[in-house]
Amino acid sequence: MKYYIASFLILVVFSCDLTINKELSVNQLVSDELETFNWNDVDTYPRFQNCDTIINKELNFQCFVNTLTSKVQTNLSNTGVIVDKSIKDTVMISFRVSDKGKITLDQLFSENEVLNVNLLIDSIFKLSILDLPKLYPAIKRGQPVNTKFKLPILVSTN
């Protein structure tokens, strides 16, 4: 009987090791998560206060772009600048929205590279930023993050 009990205990002790699932290490979990993590997408785009009630991600982004574009184009058309030749160009504005909700201009570039037009748009963009409604930053996994955008602006003297 002693041999049966001893054999049973040995069998139980060594068989437990085979049935326990081994836990994944923290490093393995983190590396697996980083492989599946999309660094180029955010949960919510930056949004202005007037767009805050929109729940749909794409419509919210469209409201963000429309608000910014309309403000820049309104200020551009209200400048009253007189030019001596016809201009029709698309200027790409590269800007950042910080995790605090501040917009900063990175770069302006256009096909014609008219220096005066670029300086004018630079100053109008900076002026337009001051008149914008409150801006909330983009959110990624519950944390505010920095984002970078390129926005085309049509400049035309007509």
Q: What is the pLDDT of residue 144?
A: 93
Q: 57 burial class (0-12, 13-18, 19+ CB within 10 angstroms)?
A: middle
Task: Report the C-alpha gap between 144 and 31 in whole angstroms.
Answer: 22
H/E stretch holding 33: helix 26-36
Q: At residue 70, does pLDDT exceed 90?
A: no
- Element holding 71 (H helix, E strand): helix 57-77
- Residue 102 has a pLDDT of 92
Distance between CA atoms of 149 and 91, rounded to whole angstroms?
13
In the Cβ-directed half-sphere of 98, how many Cα atoms lie within 13 Å? 7
